[in-house]
Structure 1
Amino acid sequence: MVRAFPARRWLAMAAAVTGLVALTACGGSNTPGTAGPSPAPGPGGLLDRAPVASAAELAASPTATAIRQRGQLIVGGELDLPLLSERNSITGETEGFDATLAKLLAKYIIGESSVKIAKATPETREALLQVGTVDAVIRIYTITPQRAQKVAFAGPYLMSGQSIATLSRERSITKPADLNGKTVVAVAGTTSVDALEKVAPDAQIKTFGTANECIQALEAGQAVAYVHDLTVLAGAARLNDKIRVIGEPFTSEPYGIGLPRGDTEFKKFVNDWLGKIVQAGIWEELWKESLGTVVAGQPPAPPQIGSVPGS
């Protein structure tokens, strides 16, 4: 059964996002668009302790074998999602929960954390997988039965939920129903749009291609609220004291790793790897080093693999 994060932890995130330390994530050094191998921060670093697939495990997946021979994992992802996948302008590292997850998967396949990140938006994710531009998409990709008709999903590996962000001075929005009759921004092609239509059917929804564009529109007064996954809003509020998160999530969003549809061997390979990093405590440590920097208390239990429709 999927276990969503307790509401008190999400509320703690919403309250803490503006005043806590920046995310610390481990991984290899990067050239533009590439996360290459380098030592993790210390002897107990995640990448040092990360598992590597055996020859027999690799042989069971032709896709994994091909990636190993190529020497690089190509992932559809992002470079500007704080806490999830963001390039550190000083170190050149791509840091965050999703970014480090990609490095861990590369380590499992190749033996080192060699990752190339190809820009993926909610509107291009399926196409990137369908034409073979990327090996996987790791970018807060909510599993739905509709999407599973186009791509396959490993996982889920993380649970989130749709939430509301407003400007800090805004006081008229306290719950989803308050969005009715008001202009709200969301990222095109995301589950945020569907969620908004259900909880506030009379809201005027204006969509943009990226999260940054939504924040800019909110700041410019083009909307009174911005709806997105709480993981995204938390990162935005951590960096921008003009933004605050309202209340707790009003949906449950299971994130999965997008894979080419029909490649059952690779899906099993990735699911087996997810199980290994959970069992080894690496998932929990990754949470602490990324999303856990703004969430009080202990990490949530990881969701059960294959536990949601479409996974």
Structure 2
Amino acid sequence: MSVLSRRSLLTATGAASLAAVLAACADTGADGQAIDASTSAATTAVDYDTVINSGPVAADDVVAASTWASAIREAGVFNTGGVMTSEVFSLEDPATGEVSGFDAAIAQALARYIIGGDDARSLLKITQVTSDTRETLLENGQVDAVFATYTITPERAEKISFAGPYYSSGQSVMVRADDTEINGVDDLVGVKVAVQSNSSSGPALDEAAPKAEQVQFTDHASCVAALEAGQVDAYVVDQSLQLSEAQSNEAIKIVGDPFTQDPYGIGLPKDSDAQDFVNTFLQTIYDDGTWNAIWSATIGAIMGGEAPEPPVIGSVPGSETADAASNASADAATAEATD
């Protein structure tokens, strides 16, 4: 059983500083050549900005072949839905206005892949979203994509398309730091548990702890505030968001291990050619070491250790490509015809 608090996370951070975990990355500059995350530790250290500005850049004909990507290049900015309050995934520096984190870095690298240039940060515009507004912003064309620890589900995929998955997390339990009664999901019987409305946490909790008393709130901050104030006694959400909170908040802790697998995808407009384009980008950064370097500069700087294998693109329900879905429909029709 694991218990993660601010103290333990700060210890991990100290043991895996950015310079140390990225010492293996060789900077090739903003020339479209990705950094090599497998180079020996003797190589010069690379910082976050070097990581996002050293990934691949799509050839002109590759961008031109995608209506979605061509519109972004013409606009000169990549408009995304996201969050700016997650210390590990997407956090805005109030002094500079710069946003950093794992999701932010993937979005910034994609922006540069499409548009080019030497300053990936300047190419990304983020509109704040919640779990209730993500699909709406995509459906209305207000954003080009959504990067927001966005769990892929077949239900959501009826409204939008998903590229990826590009990361896998899991639902886990957060409690107040002085709580000794709740040690994991099995202890939530009859307990008031905060969940974000329209998130994957509610259904996951229904299955893992059906006798928990769910209390819905609109966003992460409201759930944490309710936990701290004693309105609820636990908060269930993706552990990635909890890691961000536990890094800076001494009032809470994470107990137990994740009890689900939640694959994150990049939300995209349903009727567009975006999915194939973004999946190609993801496979490229998987293969050339950019994804590993981004992980090391963000999640790895908190958790330490080696970068995990990224999940296989199109491997979970809701992430299937249009070609795969078409082939599946054709196979089903053929099978029905021969019955």
Normalising by the smaller structure, the TM-score range is 0.7 to 0.9
In the alignment, structure 1 residue 17 sits paired with structure 2 residue 9: yes
Q: 1:47 to 1:66 in 2, by over 3 A?
A: same
Q: List aligned pairs for 1:205-224, cutoff 5 A.
A: 205-224=214-233
Match of 1:184 in 2: 193
Q: 1:76 to 1:244 in 2, by over 3 A?
A: same
Q: List aligned pairs for 1:275-294, cutoff 5 A.
A: 275-294=283-302
1:137 aligned to 141, 146, 166, which one? 146
Q: Is the 8 A contact 1:155 1:256 kept in 2?
A: yes
Q: CA RMSD in A?
A: 2.3
In the alignment, structure 1 residue 193 sits paired with structure 2 residue 202: yes
1:241 aligned to 250, 258, 262, which one? 250
Q: List aligned pairs for 1:243-258, cutoff 5 A.
A: 243-258=252-267
Match of 2:99 in 1: 94
Q: 1:291 to 1:244 in 2, by over 3 A?
A: same
Match of 1:231 in 2: 240
Compute the displacement of 1:43 (Å). 11
SS at match of 1:139: coil
Compute the displacement of 1:89 (Å). 2.0
Larger-gyration structure (1/2) = 2
In the alignment, structure 1 residue 296 sits paired with structure 2 residue 304: yes
2:59 aligned to 50, 54, 65, which one? 54
Q: Is the 8 A contact 1:75 1:117 kept in 2?
A: yes
Compute the displacement of 1:196 (Å). 1.0
Q: Is the 8 A contact 2:53 2:109 kept in 1?
A: no
In the alignment, structure 1 residue 267 sits paired with structure 2 residue 275: yes
SS at match of 2:174: strand
Q: Deviations over 1:178-223 (max 9, x none)?
A: 1110101111111011111111111111111111111111010111
SS at match of 2:254: strand
Query: Residues of 1 paired with 2:53 and 2:139: CA distance?
Result: 33
Query: Residues of 2 paired with 1:57 and 1:239: CA distance?
Result: 42
2:126 aligned to 95, 114, 117, which one? 117
Q: Is the 8 A contact 2:3 2:253 kept in 1?
A: no
Compute the displacement of 1:280 (Å). 1.3
Q: 1:220 to 1:258 in 2, by over 3 A?
A: same
Amino acid at match of 1:247: G
Q: List aligned pairs for 1:161-176, cutoff 5 A.
A: 161-176=170-185
SS at match of 1:303: coil
Name stretches of at least 5 consecutive residues in structure 2 with no aligned partner.
Answer: 20-29, 31-45, 320-339
| Larger deviation, residues 46-55 vs 64-73 | 46-55
Match of 2:75 in 1: 70
Query: Residues of 1 paired with 2:277 and 2:136: CA distance?
Result: 22
Q: 1:44 to 1:206 in 2, by over 3 A?
A: closer
TM norm structure 2: 0.80
Q: Percent identity?
A: 40
Match of 1:309 in 2: 317
Q: Is the 8 A contact 1:18 1:237 kept in 2?
A: no
Q: Is the 8 A contact 1:183 1:204 kept in 2?
A: yes
Q: Comparing both structures, which one devotes a greater share of its residues to helix? A: 2
Match of 1:29 in 2: none
Q: Deviations over 1:244-272 (max 9, x none)?
A: 11111000000000001122x22111000
Name stretches of at least 5 consecutive residues in structure 1 with no aligned partner.
Answer: 1-7, 26-36
Amino acid at match of 1:48: N
Q: List aligned pairs for 1:79-90, cutoff 5 A.
A: 79-90=84-95
Amino acid at match of 2:53: D
Q: Is the 8 A contact 2:83 2:148 kept in 1?
A: yes
Q: 1:198 to 1:129 in 2, by over 3 A?
A: same
Amino acid at match of 1:134: V
Match of 1:33 in 2: none
Query: Residues of 2 paired with 1:283 and 1:273: CA distance?
Result: 10
TM norm structure 1: 0.87
Amino acid at match of 2:169: S
